[in-house]
């Protein structure tokens, strides 16, 4: 296997090729009326895609960290609850989870809320008031929190026990030890896999199109069904996702490199 420092010296030919393809497609968009028309229609979905990704990933990270802490708790009940959640959720495909949350869990929650509201004399909530966008975000949050929990758990367990004991000898409380000693070091170590999950969520956010959420993929399907120019339409769809994912990957690699240099 090539050492990390040798990999850093490799000339990024893959990026040159990808950049060339992207430049060609951008040139077509600038000079071809059909490509420009498709991009104008898909651009409306970029905001939805970014919103879904950022909100779902932020919520999944918070829930994942909580699950990781529970899985390392000295209380067996917390450990078992966390392990049950993680293993069950990881065993369900994201697509199935999206449909289950949207059409099984959400209606059940709305029905339960309406029972309470009716008993208190308030008007019931209509199912359509709970938008499919937020149902999709909740499903992605649930799905990715299980994977992120394992990333956090591995990072927290990688911290040397001697540092924790040294913090205890200084009189730091458990919360202070976690906030000042354990978590900052663990976060630097888990940044690469956490970044990979973020890039993966950008791609998996396209699955919300099955619920009719107007993201890039859904608008691409609607546009292609209207103009019957599938090649041009899906070229633009692919270009949008590649710009987002490759751009994020490059930013994360640069951040990871800076962190390694700082530690060295």
Q: Please, how many CA atoms are within 13 Å of residue 45, restricted to the half-sphere of its CB?
A: 26
**Residue range 21-30: average pLDDT?**
85
List the domain boundaries for the chain: 28-263
Q: What is the dihedral of CA 206, 208, 211, 213, to 10 degrees?
A: -80
pLDDT digits (tens, 9 = 90+) for 207-226: 999 998 999 999 999 999 99
- What pLDDT was estimated at residue 254? 86
For residue 231, what is the enclosing H or E element? helix 230-263
CA angle 69, 75, 79 (to 5 degrees): 55
- What pLDDT was estimated at residue 253? 85
Highest average pLDDT, of 94-103, 108-117, 246-255, comes from 94-103
Q: How confident is the model at residue 238 (pLDDT cuts 50, 70, 90)?
A: very high
- Looking at the chain, the number of H-run helices and the number of E-run strands are 12, 0
Report the chain's mean pLDDT, rounded to a whole number: 88
Per-residue pLDDT at 259 exceeds 70: yes
- What pLDDT was estimated at residue 2? 46
- What pLDDT was estimated at residue 76? 95
Q: How confident is the model at residue 6 (pLDDT cuts 50, 70, 90)?
A: low
3-state helix, strand, coil in the chain (%, to 5): 85, 0, 15
> Which tokens belong to 132?
């499919």
Q: Does residue 37 contact residue 231 with C-beta atoms inside 8 Å?
A: no
Architecture in CATH for domain 28-263: Orthogonal Bundle (1.10)
- What pLDDT was estimated at residue 166? 82
Per-residue pLDDT at 86 exceeds 50: yes
**Residue range 80-85: average pLDDT?**
96
Q: How confident is the model at residue 8 (pLDDT cuts 50, 70, 90)?
A: low
């Amino acid at each position: 296997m090539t050492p990390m420092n040798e990999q850093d010296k490799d000339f990024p030919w893959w990026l040159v090729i990808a950049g060339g393809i992207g430049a060609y497609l951008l040139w077509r968009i600038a000079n071809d009326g059909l490509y420009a028309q498709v991009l104008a229609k898909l651009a409306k979905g970029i905001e939805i895609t970014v919103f879904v990704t950022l909100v779902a990933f932020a919520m999944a990270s918070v829930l994942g960290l909580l699950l990781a802490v529970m899985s390392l708790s000295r209380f067996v009940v917390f450990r078992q609850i966390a392990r049950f959640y993680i293993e069950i959720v990881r065993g369900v495909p994201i697509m199935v989870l999206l449909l289950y949350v949207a059409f099984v869990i959400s209606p059940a929650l709305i029905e339960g809320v309406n029972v309470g509201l009716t008993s208190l004399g308030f008007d019931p909530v209509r199912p359509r008031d709970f938008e499919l966008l937020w149902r999709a975000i909740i499903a992605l949050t649930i799905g990715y929190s299980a994977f992120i929990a394992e990333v956090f758990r591995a990072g927290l367990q990688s911290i040397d026990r001697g540092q924790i004991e040294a913090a205890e000898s200084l009189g730091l409380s458990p919360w202070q030890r976690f906030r000042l000693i354990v978590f900052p070091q663990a976060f630097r170590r888990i940044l690469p896999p956490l970044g990979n999950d973020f890039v993966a969520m950008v791609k998996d956010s396209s699955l919300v199109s099955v619920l009719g959420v107007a993201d890039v993929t859904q608008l691409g399907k609607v546009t292609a069904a209207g103009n019957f120019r599938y090649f041009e339409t899906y070229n633009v769809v692919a270009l949008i996702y590649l710009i987002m994912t490759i751009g994020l990957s490059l930013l994360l690699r640069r951040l990871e490199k800076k962190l390694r240099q700082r530690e060295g």
